[in-house]
Amino acid sequence: MKNCLRQAKISATGMYVPDHRLSNVDLEKTVDTSDQWIRSRTGIVERRIVANGQACSHLAVEALRRALELRGLAATDLDLIIVATVTPDMFFPSTACLIQERIGATKAWGFDLSAACSGFLYALSTGAQFIQTGTHRRVAVIGADVMTSILDFKDRATCVLFGDGAGAVLLEPAEAGEEGIIDCLLRSDGAGGRYLNMPGGGSLHPASAETVAQNMHCVHQDGAQVFKFAIRGMADISSELLKKWNYSVDDLALYVPHQANIRIIDAAAERLGLDRSKVAINIDRYANTTAATIPICLAEAQADQRVKKGDLVMLASFGAGFTWGSILLRWTM
Ligand code: UT7
């Protein structure tokens, strides 16, 4: 990205989570689990869940509206909307098109991108390139998921882990002398696909009474396998990116990892040699919102003034695919 004409920068953030809280104690009443197990094994205390009829695009529109408001822009100022999600309102039209219509972004085009928990990083990297080439000036990048729409609430191994939410950022060209998004390292390894997936509903296993009976429209996960790969995946790619730019963890003001499990976050930070005080953590309040965890953390960090202009920030994710990656950026707000 060093030789590109124009760096992209994040110029605003926004987030939205549904009002309804589902606590571990609530879950104890419906599935064989305990608040103590969930807290100690995952760090989750509660998660937000959508109201009936509330879908991915509804959460996304609210998050994007807040980002636009913060930046003082209208929806008509947007050129492009990229939505990372594995729980679109429907297969087609894309959630990006639904958002475009609802928010009134009449001059924007858009598309959805599927990379599960790494979706936001893949989308941010993609959006940044539309700015860098100079063809687009205002790109909305959204991570939004309604994970409760694909959970089996009788499966204690998965239903306690996830929640619903959306986060959005705006990308614009950096001013002269501003760094913005410095670099992105993204990876995938399809061999990991067997450990975390939703097998039903696609062209391989179209929806039928049988796929429903076999629970194929829900998240299936071999948690222990994903756990092992996630720690190494996030920590090592972050190290590689820091080394590439001659930075050390001491240069980072904030590390924003995907929020899947507090033990993964802590172990990755330890492997990196990073102090916990520099790590963004909100898994206790929202659980794993898949593509939304990182932009929600960014919006909270901005609202809490935990990041300031000039800070070096690193994002890291790991998820189904397997997909993983890390992005290094300079905060410019
Ligand atoms: O964001 C996408 C990427 N996803 C991830 O990064 C998730 C990665 N994996 C994890 O976070 C963890 O593996 C889990 C939180 C999913 C599970 O934690 P674990 O320490 O790996 O537990 P486990 O799966 O090895 O299960 C330990 C025990 C089992 O009982 P037995 O066989 O030892 O008797 C499970 O049946 O805990 C049991 N268990 C539960 N008990 C109470 C599993 N889920 C629950 C539950 N409540 N909800």
Predicted confidence at residue 6, as pLDDT, reads 82
Q: Give the Å distance between the CA of 196 and the centre of ligand 1.
A: 13
Q: Give the Å distance between the CA of 278 and the centre of ligand 1.
A: 27
Active-site choice (136, 258, 261, 282): 258
Active-site choice (117, 159, 184, 297): 117
The residue whose C-alpha atom lies closest to atom 36 belonging to ligand 1 is: 157
Integer Cα distance of 225 and 47 in angstroms: 24
- Best residue for ligand 1 mutational test, from 227, 229, 232, 323 (most atoms within 8 Å of Cβ): 227
Predicted confidence at residue 16, as pLDDT, reads 98
- For 101, 137, 213, the CA distances from 39, given in Å and listed in that order, are 40, 43, 31
4 has catalytic annotation: no
CB-CB contact of 120 with 257 (8 Å): no
H or E element at residue 96 = helix 95-103
Predicted confidence at residue 119, as pLDDT, reads 98
Q: Give the Å distance between the CA of 157 and the centre of ligand 1.
A: 6
Predicted confidence at residue 5, as pLDDT, reads 58
CB-CB contact of 143 with 15 (8 Å): no
Name the segment(s) of the chain with CATH classification 3.40.47.10. Answer: 8-173, 181-330
Q: Give the Å distance between the CA of 235 and the centre of ligand 1.
A: 21
Query: Which residues lie below 8 Å from residue 9, measured CB to CB, with a gap of 6+?
Result: 171, 172, 173, 174, 175, 178, 179, 180, 181, 329, 330, 332
Q: May I ask the CATH class of domain 181-330? A: alpha beta
CATH code reported for the domain at 8-173: 3.40.47.10
Predicted confidence at residue 220, as pLDDT, reads 97
Residue ranges, the chain, pLDDT below 50: 1-4
Instruction: Label the pairing between strands 80-84 and 139-146.
Output: parallel
Predicted confidence at residue 94, as pLDDT, reads 98
Please count the other Cβ atoms lying within 10 Å of the Cβ belonging to residue 193.
13
Q: What is the pLDDT of residues 215-225, one digit of tens each?
A: 999 999 999 99
Dihedral in degrees, nearest 10, Cα atoms 112, 113, 115, 116: -10
288 has catalytic annotation: yes
> Which of these, 26, 40, 281, 73, lies nearest to 171 by C-alpha position?
73
pTM of the model: 0.97
> Half-sphere exposure of 183 toward its Cβ, with a 13 Å CA cutoff?
15
